[in-house]
């Protein structure tokens, strides 16, 4: 890289996420300071100014041409002692732009200017293109290619030892675990890549080591199995258990160095989904740098409601929704959203992003957590294209990306997935063992209740009924949400749940009946018919709404209806 910059030879850096491409660029930029360089060797080289351009599907040809012209202007007066370098970050993402901005690179890499301009010495600038995959040969052949392959076992071990080398005592404690951890990661990476792209990457492995280092640094003793399990689940989550089981893979390789049946200690973290997400959002005893930002995989964006109700108060959180409307996809709207995120960064608020795939590339520097520190404050680059600003990052700032799990599996860029801590969040994952058992029983009752009970007829095949046919709005999390709501409303402990199972189930069935169809109720009859018609008053809309208002008079829907034209209905009912 140093030679290519000095001689203004185009350079393409290609490698998997986490292979230190951006770090190498930063190290070189800090070293090549001309006469002001700290090392005598680099005082013999030119002074370097790197100008970054964040590529994305919104990139345009004019934007790339503009950045080359700006760099050429910087070095116009001192070609011998100064070199400007254009850095195209995540250059591969620009291939998805409908405007095909990379077509303009061909003459710019050769002469430093477009075909319709006169080549001049100062227009030839340095160039570094950083990508996670190789581009087409028409571009790559115009420069030098440095490709970083997937690291082998020895390279992983070397990196792991360096990460854990800051404290000699900690390094000595962790040393026997490093090889089993590296072997486990390699097995996990290979298996995940076969099943579902490269869902896990080097950043996940390095974050695992840093988190484990944090536990050992605090306890000054060998990590427990629960501490290891917490680290594994936080850094290798997000994939279905039926596809891959990270804990089992690590457990097999660590069997000789860690005992699984140890008693829980005060230093052991929570390993439930809720506990791990809280640890990511609030910190779990390690340094802030070891807690990455969060990607929550969900269904129907249900994680947002769970976050609001269960995990933390939303008073200090900013929720930013995106959409597919053309005006929301425009460059100006993306800039507005980035500015909202910038404000949250500076004030220490939590920001929750939904359906904003068009701006995630602008946050890559922030997601890398490569901070520039000055006077005790941390700064990071935020930008889109040529527009980049230094933004102060409050130490309490947290970022949460909420996305549909299938969208993440199929469409999310691998560099984005690898930068974030991943968890699957649904109502089912929030339940205790007792609540999960009750949910299973309630679901079984709902399935039986929805089944077709009409007598068989000759030559007529029975139609298979779904639960959603009997209960309007039913989905996979309905029963779990009902059981969870009942237990939370009554503030039941695990022991109380066990003692009141029948009462909780009865209340759960009654709750489901509120959205049952008349056909399903009449088909089943029994006690449910009395509850449906007499207690819940389903015989008329007026009586039904009045009954609902008595149960929960503060519900927003009914308050609004009282203020509307239907006010006279309620007056008659009272």
3-state helix, strand, coil in the chain (%, to 5): 55, 15, 30
Token pair recorded at residue 509: 């069935």
Considering only CA atoms, which of 99, 79, 101 is closest in space to residue 90? 101
Angle among Cα 140, 143, 148 to the nearest 5 degrees reads: 70
State how far the Cα of 91 lies from the Cα of 18, in Å rounded to an integer: 16
Within 220-320, residue ranges assigned H as helices are 225-235, 246-253, 273-282, 302-306
Cα–Cα separations (whole angstroms), residue 173 to 37, 71, 204: 38, 49, 21
Helices 433-450 and 478-490: crossing angle, nearest 10°?
130
pLDDT tens for residues 176-224?
999 999 999 999 999 998 888 889 999 999 999 999 999 999 889 999 9
Report yes or no on 283 lying in a domain. Answer: yes
Lowest mean pLDDT among 125-129, 266-270, 438-442: 266-270
Report yes or no on 560 lying in a domain. Answer: no
Verify that 283 and 327 share a domain, yes or no.
yes
Mean pLDDT, rounded, of the chain: 85
Please say which residue of 148, 165, 196 terminates a domain: 148
Reported confidence tier of residue 304, pLDDT bands at 50, 70, 90: low
Burial of residue 247 (CB within 10 Å: 0-12, 13-18, 19+) is middle
Reported confidence tier of residue 157, pLDDT bands at 50, 70, 90: very high
Overall number of domains in the chain = 3
Verify that 173 and 112 share a domain, yes or no.
no
Verify that 166 and 134 share a domain, yes or no.
no
CB 81 within 8 A of CB 122: no
Reported confidence tier of residue 457, pLDDT bands at 50, 70, 90: low
Report yes or no on 561 lying in a domain. Answer: no
3-state secondary structure of 390: strand
Given a cut of 90, whether residue 552 has pLDDT beyond it is no
CB 292 within 8 A of CB 400: no
Lowest mean pLDDT among 403-412, 436-445, 463-472: 463-472
Reported confidence tier of residue 353, pLDDT bands at 50, 70, 90: very high
Q: How far apart are the first and last CA of the chain?
A: 81
Q: How many C-beta atoms lie closer than 10 Å to residue 255's C-beta?
A: 11
Phi-psi region of 126 (alpha: psi -120 to 50; beta: other; left: phi over 0): beta
Query: Which residue matches tokens 């989550």?
Result: 237
Considering only CA atoms, which of 352, 237, 230, 299 is closest in space to residue 480? 299
Verify that 318 and 385 share a domain, yes or no.
yes
Higher pLDDT, 312 or 157: 157
The predicted structure's pLDDT at residue 143: 93
Strand 82-89 to strand 126-131: parallel, antiparallel, or no bridges (unpaired)? parallel
Reported confidence tier of residue 570, pLDDT bands at 50, 70, 90: very low
Within 75-136, residue ranges assigned H as helices are 105-111
- The contacts of residue 342 (CB under 8 Å, 6+ apart) are 382, 389, 391
Verify that 397 and 443 share a domain, yes or no.
no
Please say which residue of 400, 428, 456 terminates a domain: 428
Given a cut of 90, whether residue 57 has pLDDT beyond it is no
Report yes or no on 548 lying in a domain. Answer: no
Given a cut of 50, whether residue 164 has pLDDT beyond it is yes
Query: Which residue matches tokens 């009902």?
Result: 482
Verify that 414 and 439 share a domain, yes or no.
no
What is the span of the domain harbouring residue 14? Answer: 2-148
pLDDT tens for residues 253-294?
999 988 887 778 777 888 888 888 888 887 654 544 458 999
The predicted structure's pLDDT at residue 573: 47
């Amino acid at each position: 890289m140093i030679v290519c910059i000095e001689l203004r030879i185009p350079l393409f850096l290609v490698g998997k996420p986490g292979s230190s491409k951006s770090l190498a660029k930063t190290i070189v930029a800090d070293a090549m300071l001309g006469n002001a360089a700290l090392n005598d060797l680099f005082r013999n080289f030119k002074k370097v100014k790197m100008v970054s351009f964040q590529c994305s599907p919104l990139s345009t040809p004019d934007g790339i041409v503009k950045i080359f012209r700006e760099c050429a202007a910087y070095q116009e007066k001192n070609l011998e002692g100064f070199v400007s370098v254009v850095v195209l970050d995540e250059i591969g993402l620009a291939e998805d732009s409908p405007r095909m901005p990379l077509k303009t690179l061909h003459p710019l890499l050769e002469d430093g200017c477009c075909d319709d301009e006169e080549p001049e010495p100062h227009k030839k600038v340095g160039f570094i293109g950083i990508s996670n995959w190789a581009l087409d040969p028409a571009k790559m052949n115009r420069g030098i290619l440095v490709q970083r392959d997937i690291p082998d076992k020895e390279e992983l071990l070397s990196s792991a030892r360096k990460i854990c080398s800051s404290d000699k005592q900690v390094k000595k404690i962790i040393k026997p675990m490093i090889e089993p951890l590296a072997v486990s990661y390699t097995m996990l990476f290979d298996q995940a890549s076969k099943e579902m792209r490269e869902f896990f990457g080097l950043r996940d492995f390095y974050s695992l080591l840093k988190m484990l280092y944090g536990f050992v640094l605090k306890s000054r003793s060998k990590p427990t199995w629960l501490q290891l399990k917490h680290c594994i689940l936080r850094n290798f989550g997000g994939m279905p258990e039926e596809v891959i089981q990270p804990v089992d893979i690590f457990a097999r390789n660590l069997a000789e160095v860690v005992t699984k049946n140890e008693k829980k200690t005060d230093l052991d973290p929570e390993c439930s989904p809720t506990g791990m997400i809280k640890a990511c959002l609030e910190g779990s005893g390690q340094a802030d740098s070891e807690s990455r930002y969060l990607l929550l995989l969900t269904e129907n964006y249900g994680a947002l409601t769970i976050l609001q109700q269960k995990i933390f108060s939303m008073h200090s959180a900013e929720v930013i929704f995106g959409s597919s409307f053309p005006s929301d996809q425009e460059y100006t709207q993306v800039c507005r959203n980035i500015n909202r995120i910038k404000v949250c960064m500076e004030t220490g608020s939590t920001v929750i992003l939904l359906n904003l795939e068009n701006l995630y590339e602008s946050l890559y520097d922030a997601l890398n957590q490569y901070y520039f520190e000055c006077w005790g404050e941390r700064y990071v680059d935020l930008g889109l294209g040529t527009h980049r600003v230094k933004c102060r990052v409050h130490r309490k700032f947290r970022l949460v990306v909420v996305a549909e799990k299938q969208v993440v599996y199929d469409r999310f860029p691998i560099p984005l997935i690898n930068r974030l801590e991943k968890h699957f969040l649904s109502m089912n994952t929030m339940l205790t063992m007792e609540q999960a058992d009750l949910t299973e029983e309630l679901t079984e009752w709902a399935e039986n209740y929805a089944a077709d009970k009409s007598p068989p007829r000759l030559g007529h095949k029975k139609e298979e009924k779904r639960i959603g046919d009997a209960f309007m709005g039913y989905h996979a999390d309905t029963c779990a949400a009902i059981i969870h709501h009942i237990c939370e409303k009554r503030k039941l402990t695990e022991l109380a749940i066990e003692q009141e199972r029948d009462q909780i189930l009865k209340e759960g069935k009654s709750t489901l009946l509120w959205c049952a169809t008349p056909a399903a109720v009449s088909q089943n009859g029994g006690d449910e018919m009395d509850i449906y018609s007499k207690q819940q008053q389903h015989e008329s809309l007026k009586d039904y709404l009045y009954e609902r208002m008595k149960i929960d008079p503060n519900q927003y829907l009914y308050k609004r209806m009282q203020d509307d034209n239907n006010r006279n209905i309620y007056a008659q009912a009272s």
